[in-house]
């Protein structure tokens, strides 16, 4: 499963937008992972406004593994690479993602820093062409793109796993092997951008390497009477939901009548985030999802919502019920209004011991180092000498098993065993460190020390050498 935090980072990154061709809502969350390794593209029109050749929207989700560098590069550079391709200028959409993915690999290899980076990322991408009235999906890896047509999930991609006969054949032909369902016993997917340690056979082209970035391409001619929306998501979502279940949840959110695409994407992330690390390991990954509405000519987003609701796609499902089904081993509160407390409440509310969620599993109590500065005397700050806690350098805590992680908003977070953290503070203050901060920290912590340590005793982060979950 890879390294995980003792508590999830639940701060979410949100994006939304709309034009005359499509509208979208996106949500991304770090969750239980040590860092956020997902990236994305949401480009409503890749052509300039005065370019009458076409109107082409581009959406992508990149799921990083072994680090975030390759995913971040793809998220920031691929739109430009996409626009520079000859196939883009000639409107050859079937070839466009193949050219773009291959060129992205080459661009990474030309980067003096990234060429020695060992990370990689899956990529699932969607373009919508107004002139050709079709959508094209390019997929490399185990992220996934799904179309809702008349309420039914239609696959626009399939997951590239080394257990597939076609993938296994290429792997063995390139002198690789599959062990424990992983490429060379390491990578749990068989296609990705980056991962150059699996692309070193000089006798073979990029299509033939042990791991290739070359995407499968799927085209679909649009029929707006049937085709409703597209979902792009990383495997952190698909580990928890089938394609149809995810479509059903989006339809449920639409039918509620008071949720935006952004709200629905956020709630699906809540559904999938594991309430504990004591289960099977699903729900402990980074999570990113984009919901793309397919708009008719001159149709507004509100009109699109009305049109989809008028179809009466009723489903025997709700967000709360689905979360209970996924994590049926966990004892959720009987009151369904509190079933998402852990993943939706504001930071200051998460750390209020008088709050309702005190009745939930104590092992889920989150370190209060990411609390709002106005509501916590121990808020993390960055000074001239780097991140500090009441003037005490955070780097000094690392010796006690405490790690610093970056959330989607680039805010540093502390994670690790709270008892070790407290011992580190006391040893520091006992030798005269941190000056006037001593009394405030001691007074704050003494009162709740026993409860806090008990809450963390059974919540140690697990470790693994896995490159990809």
9 Cβ neighbours under 8 A, 6+ residues apart: 29, 30, 31, 36, 370, 405, 407, 408, 413
pTM: 0.74
Backbone angles phi, psi at 221, to 5 degrees: -80, 125
The conformation of residue 169, written as its DSSP 8-state character, comes to H
Q: Give the residue-averaged pLDDT of 291-315.
A: 95
Note the pLDDT of residue 109: 93
Taking a C-beta distance cutoff of 8 angstroms, is the pair 161, 190 a contact?
yes
Q: Write out pLDDT tens, residues 58-70.
A: 999 999 999 999 9
pLDDT, average across residues 430-446: 39
Kindly tell me if the per-residue pLDDT of 169 is higher than 50: yes
User: In which residue are the tokens 């025997």 written?
Assistant: 316
Distance CA 370, CA 436 (A): 22
User: How many Cα atoms are found within 13 Å in the side-chain-facing hemisphere of 79?
Assistant: 18
- Which pLDDT band, with edges at 50, 70 and 90, does 343 fall under? confident
- Report the 3 state secondary structure along 241-262: CCHHHHHHHHHHHHHHCCCCHH
Report the share of the chain in percent with pLDDT over 90: 64
| Residues in CB range of 98: below 8 A, 6 or more apart | 138, 214, 215, 217
Domain boundaries, the chain: 4-325, 346-457
Q: What is the distance, to the nearest Å, from the Cα of residue 17 to the centroid of all Cα atoms in its chain? A: 19
What value does the CA radius of gyration of the chain take, rounded to a whole number of Å? 24
pLDDT at 443 over 50: no
The values of phi and psi at residue 426, to 5°, are -65, -40
Q: Which of 155-169, 323-337, 375-389 has the highest mean pLDDT?
A: 155-169
Query: Is the per-residue pLDDT at 447 higher than 80?
Result: no
Return the half-sphere exposure (C-beta side, CA atoms, 13 A cut-off) of residue 354. 0
Q: How far is 253 from 236, CA to CA, in rounded Å?
A: 20
Beta-ladder partners of 23:
18, 293
Higher pLDDT, residue 363 or 237: 237
125-129, 197-201, 464-468: range with lowest mean pLDDT? 464-468
Note the pLDDT of residue 2: 63
Q: What is the pLDDT of residue 192?
A: 97
User: Is 3.40.50.300 the CATH number for 4-325?
Assistant: no
Q: Quick one: pLDDT at residue 280?
A: 82
Q: Give burial (CB, 10 Å; 0-12/13-18/19+) of 217.
A: middle
Across residues 62-82, what is the average pLDDT?
Answer: 96
Phi/psi class of residue 362: alpha, beta or left (left: φ > 0; alpha: ψ in -120 to 50)? alpha
Q: What is the mean pLDDT of residues 154-169?
A: 95
Of all residues in the chain, what percent carry a pLDDT higher than 70?
73
Q: What are the CA-CA distances from residue 306 to residues 93, 257, 321 (Å)?
A: 31, 9, 25
pLDDT band, residue 206 (cuts 50/70/90): very high
- pLDDT the model gives residue 337: 78
Q: Which residue has 């509405």 as its token pair?
A: 293
Q: Strand, helix or coil at 109?
A: helix
Q: List pLDDT tens digits, range 214-230.
A: 999 999 999 999 999 99
367-424: pLDDT as tens digits: 332 323 333 322 333 333 444 444 334 443 343 344 454 444 454 544 444 444 444 4
Q: For 237-257, what is each residue's pLDDT tens digit?
A: 999 999 999 999 999 999 999
Segment among 91-100, 318-327, 369-378, 418-427 with least mean pLDDT = 369-378
| Residues paired with 15 in a beta bridge | 26
Question: What are the CA-CA distances from residue 396 to residues 42, 379, 427 (Å)?
Answer: 39, 17, 12
To the nearest 10°, the Cα dihedral for 237, 243, 245, 246? 50
> Lowest mean pLDDT: which of 18-27, 108-117, 132-141, 431-440?
431-440
């Amino acid at each position: 499963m890879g390294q995980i935090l003792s508590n999830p980072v639940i701060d979410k990154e949100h994006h939304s937008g709309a034009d005359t061709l499509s509208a979208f809502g996106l949500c991304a969350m770090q969750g239980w992972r040590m860092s956020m390794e997902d990236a994305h593209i949401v480009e409503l029109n890749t052509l300039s406004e005065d370019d009458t050749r076409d109107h082409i929207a581009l959406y992508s989700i990149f799921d990083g593994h072994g680090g975030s560098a390759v995913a971040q590069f793809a998220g920031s550079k691929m739109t430009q690479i996409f626009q520079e391709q000859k196939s883009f200028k000639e409107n050859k959409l079937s070839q466009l993602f193949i050219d773009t993915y291959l060129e992205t690999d080459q661009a990474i290899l030309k980067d003096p820093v990234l060429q020695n980076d060992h990370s990689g990322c899956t990529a699932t991408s969607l373009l919508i062409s107004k002139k050709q009235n079709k959508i094209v999906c390019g997929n490399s890896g185990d992220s996934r793109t799904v179309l809702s047509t008349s309420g039914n999930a239609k696959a626009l991609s399939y997951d590239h796993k080394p257990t597939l006969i076609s993938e296994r054949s290429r792997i063995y032909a390139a002198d690789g092997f599959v062990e424990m369902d992983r490429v060379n016993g390491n990578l749990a997917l068989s296609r990705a951008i980056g991962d150059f340690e699996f692309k070193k056979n000089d006798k073979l082209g990029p299509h033939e390497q042990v791991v290739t970035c070359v995407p499968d391409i799927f085209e679909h001619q649009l029929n707006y009477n049937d085709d409703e929306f597209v979902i792009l998501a990383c495997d952190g979502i698909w580990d928890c939901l089938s394609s149809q279940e995810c479509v059903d949840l989006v339809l449920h959110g639409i039918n509620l009548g008071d949720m935006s695409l952004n709200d629905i994407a956020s709630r699906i992330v809540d559904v999938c985030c594991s309430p504990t690390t004591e289960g099977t390991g699903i729900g402990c990954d980074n999570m990113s999802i984009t919901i793309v509405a397919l708009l008719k000519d001159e149709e507004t987003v509100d009109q699109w919502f009305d049109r989809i609701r008028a179809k009466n796609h009723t489903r025997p499902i709700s967000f709360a019920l689905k979360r209970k089904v996924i994590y049926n081993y966990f004892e959720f509160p009987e009151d369904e209004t509190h079933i998402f407390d852990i993943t939706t409440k504001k930071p200051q509310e998460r750390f209020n011991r008088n709050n309702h969620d005190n009745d939930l599993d104590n092992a889920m109590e989150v370190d209060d180092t990411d609390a709002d500065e106005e509501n916590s005397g121990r808020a993390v700050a960055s000074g001239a000498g780097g991140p500090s806690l009441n003037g005490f350098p955070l780097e000094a805590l690392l010796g006690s098993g405490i790690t610093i992680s970056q959330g989607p908003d680039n805010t540093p977070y502390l994670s690790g065993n709270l008892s070790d953290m407290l011992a580190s503070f006391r040893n520091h203050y006992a030798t005269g460190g941190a000056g006037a901060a001593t009394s405030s920290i001691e007074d704050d912590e003494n009162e709740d020390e026993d409860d806090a340590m008990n809450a963390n005793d059974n919540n140690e982060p697990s470790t693994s050498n896995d490159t990809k979950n």
